[in-house]
Amino acid sequence: MSKKSKKKGKRQEASRNRRRKQASRRKQTSKHKRRPNTSSPGTVTKAGDLYQVHSQSELNSLLVSGKPTLVDFWAPWCQPCLRMAPTFEKMAASYGDRINFAKIDTQSSPQLGQRYGVRSIPTLIAFSERKETKREVGLMPEQKMRRLVESMLPEEEEETEEEEIRAGQEEEPEEQEQKPASPPKKQPPGFVKYIKRLFGGKKD
């Protein structure tokens, strides 16, 4: 074998090694970019009291659960979103057994923000029976968010609270009737003797 053919073979081998290394790097980069999906399609993951939603199928699984759903559209770079996050988590801890609280990162899931017409964040959207019932845009104080959450509670719970109030009002008259009557006032002895003297000698 000539020297030229040996050099040519070495160059070809080096070129193949470079291509293999480049292909290996591309695979590693693509693995880091893809978000690992450990849950089955349509199954939403829950972190603490909050659901983390990444797709429409995951959101649908909450909307058909039979409970109202409140969704927070946010992004990691949004400072108002980060300031409102503790309040949203507090509401989820207090009402999470009756309402679904979900968060959607519009940076990693922009298609969901576009689908629901979210143009500014933070945005809260309330759903009931798969339909949007209310929308609030911007940083919300705790009292305003609490009023929004309480307006989403099922009607049966509101009726129960009203019945308890009415029952308490009906019990008040009964307590008043059970109070003992005050004893009759006693007349002074001198007054009684005077009346007897006055009418005792009178004849019909």
Show which residues are catalytic: 78, 81
Q: Name the DSSP class of 76.
A: T
Cite the DSSP H helix spans in the chain: 3-33, 56-63, 79-95, 110-115, 142-151, 155-177, 189-200
> Pairing state of beta strands 45-47 and 69-74?
unpaired
Q: Do 43 and 57 contact (CB within 8 A), yes or no? A: no
Q: Do 87 and 81 contact (CB within 8 A), yes or no? A: no
Q: 90 burial class (0-12, 13-18, 19+ CB within 10 angstroms)?
A: middle
Tokens of 4: 């030229």
C-beta atoms surrounding 143 within 10 Å: 9
